[in-house]
Chain A
Amino acid sequence: MSSSHPIVKVEELSHTFPDATKALEGVSLEIHRGEFIGIIGQNGSGKTTLVKHFNGLLKPTKGRVLVDSIDTREKTIADLSTKIGYVFQNPDHQISQGSTEAELAFGPRNIGLSAVEIEARVEEALRSVGIEHLAKRHPLLTSKGERQLIAIASVLTMKPEVIIVDEPTTGQDKRQSRQTMNLLANLNRAGHTIIVITHDMSLVAEHTRRVLVFHKGRVILDDSPGKVFREVDILRETGLRPPQITRLAQTLQACGFPQDILSVKEMYNEFRHIMTGS
């Protein structure tokens, strides 16, 4: 496996839906192995449409998408699922089996892995997501937060390089949202490339290392969270704003606070720094 070329390369990608809605217009970007990327943008700005091109659920109207140097038009969704794992916005849209175990085994079985290998992968996925206790349960009888974890685990059994999670925090309380983001951070440390679509700006600020901002089918900002959240005016035009703690620092600029604070902890350290006058 060569790591020199991007795992995903998007070239001048446009996508127009049958009803003539232009969902993406001329998007170009590269995603490299090991990145942790947040995608933010208004409802209907093209976030989900973009990532559905990575696993072949959608094919470009114009331009092309290369996954590990291969054009997605030449690959089936099953082929791509071993490279790109996509966790749906609504986990109920992807759950099809009568037990969590069976749900997790579904993908590996479809690509013809041996029973021994399937079992090993299911066990590993249950363990790394921390849901061993749900193995025998019917997925649709678990809570929404648990179903989200089952959906992530079922993608993991395909051992994809890239894991895309679409709105992982919807319908979850803050504690669950944090658990999900910590899980994604662990998977990132274990070598997976992570892409997360979310409206929770504080989670983007605290966890990701690169942020793509979508507006009307285009990427209008592509930078580190610190740099992106300084662009207050551009963000406002697109229905976005930095996390509250970042905005607090920004309104206190005259007191010497930097404009790219990303967490409560950072703000606290900065405050102490200012107060001790050093």
Chain B
Amino acid sequence: MGIIEFKNFSWKYESSTDWILRDVNLSVEQGEFLAITGPSGSGKTTLCQCLNGMIPHSHPGVIKGEVYVSGIRVRDATVRQLCDHVAMMFQDPESQFIGMSVEEEIVFGPENLNLPREEIDRRLNWALRVVGMEKMLSKAPYELSGGQKQRVAIASALVMLPKILVLDEPTSELDPIGKSEVFSVVSELRRDRKMTIIMVEHETEEVAKYADRVVLLEAGRILASGNTEDFLSDVDRLEGTGVEPPQVTQFAHLLRKEGLISGKLPITLESTRQQIADVVRSRKRALIT
């Protein structure tokens, strides 16, 4: 059994007529990096909220099927119990701020775990460095820019060093290199600590480099799922889903349509570069001879 199991799971708010999640079956192994993508309103955030128990415990609704996290049936667990397993970064960082300063905000979780002071400080300093906010320790949340708030929210989830880290569009307001840094830190945590990563993300360029698997949600259903390379290189299937393959893959797709290259499409810059360089070189040789 995976560390996360959705079994024939459907859910809707008590007040809503439509099911928000429909018959979801999903199994995630410990240490896996799973990216969740799909158009706005497809149920991505709802799916995340099932993992820390906010659904069903904080929202009245109707459930079919089950979700298990670390072997615990979420329906029976308390949000507090799930905290020991799952840390979650919300899509809108403002909605999760509790502290009056960056420091208070980040240490809030570890303090509630009753960790020793030195351990809390160690984690605080590490997390601040990771998100590049070392100099912002005493700032109040309202003094921060959108991207800085997002950095603090990421740090607040990281300091929990959870078994399962859930990040809901964590990098939407970050500059490109900040974005890339978040992906690389998360993938280190996965490697060094066997942390399981669930990340909602539209930015396929980074997903291509780091995620093991991608799930596409649409209207509450898992429309497609596959290892990252198979998923992102299937450009025709992604057409019209709101998910854009990396630019290099779109480019390679155009070339393949014209018969200029063949085989599976590359999904990273490096593999595309090699493929294109080879094609151009052999063409140039052909022109000379």
Residues of A within 8 A of B (CB): 17, 19, 21, 40-44, 48, 89-90, 143-145, 167, 169-176, 199, 201-202, 236, 238-241, 243-245, 247-248, 251-252, 254-256, 264, 267-268, 271, 274-275, 277
Contacts and interface: CB of A to CB of B under 8 A. Distances in A.
What 9 A-B pairs are tightest by C-beta distance, nearest first?
A: A43-B147, A173-B242, A245-B247, A174-B244, A175-B242, A239-B175, A239-B177, A255-B280, A244-B247
A149 to B, nearest CB: 12
For chain B, the bracket of interface size reads 35 or more
B202 A248 contact: no
20 contacts: A21-B143, A41-B175, A43-B147, A44-B144, A169-B172, A170-B146, A171-B92, A171-B172, A175-B242, A176-B39, A238-B175, A239-B176, A239-B178, A248-B248, A252-B280, A256-B280, A268-B254, A274-B280, A275-B280, A275-B283
B177 A236 contact: yes
Given A41-B175, A199-B176, A264 B40 contact: no
Interface stretch (B54-62, B102-110, B268-276): B268-276
B148 interface: yes
B225 interface: no
Nearest to A205: B247
Interface of B: 38-41, 91-92, 94, 139, 143-148, 150-151, 169, 172-179, 202, 205, 242-244, 246-248, 250-251, 254-255, 260, 269, 272-273, 276-277, 279-281, 283, 287
B150 to A, nearest CB: 8
A182 to B, nearest CB: 15
Contact of A175 (B39, B146, B177): B39
A238 B176 CA distance: 10
Given A244-B269, A248-B269, A268-B254, A170 B248 contact: no
Contact of B176 (A144, A201, A274): A201
B230 to A, nearest CB: 20
Contacts of B173: 43, 89, 167, 170, 199
B175 A171 contact: no
A173 B243 contact: yes
B251 A252 contact: no
Given A172-B40, A236-B177, A268-B254, A44 B145 contact: yes
A248 B151 contact: no
Given A247-B269, A264-B250, A240 B176 contact: yes
Contacts of A175: 39, 242
A118 B3 CA distance: 57
A168 to B, nearest CB: 12
Nearest to A178: B244
A39 B251 CA distance: 26
A274 B243 CA distance: 30
B273 to A, nearest CB: 5
A181 to B, nearest CB: 13
B178 A89 contact: no
A277 B276 contact: no
A243 B174 contact: no
Contact of A271 (B139, B150, B255): B255
A251 B38 CA distance: 31
A42 B254 CA distance: 33
A176 B205 CA distance: 18
B21 to A, nearest CB: 17
A145 B277 CA distance: 40
A268 B272 CA distance: 13
A161 to B, nearest CB: 26
A173 B244 CA distance: 9
Nearest to A269: B254
A175 B151 CA distance: 25
A270 B10 CA distance: 49
Contacts of B175: 40-43, 199, 238-240
A166 to B, nearest CB: 9
Nearest to B171: A199
A255 B276 contact: yes
Contact of B177 (A167, A241, A245): A241
Contacts of A277: 283, 287
A243 B203 CA distance: 12
Among B41, B251, B281: residue with most chain A CB under 10 A: B251
Contacts of B251: 245, 248, 264, 267-268, 271
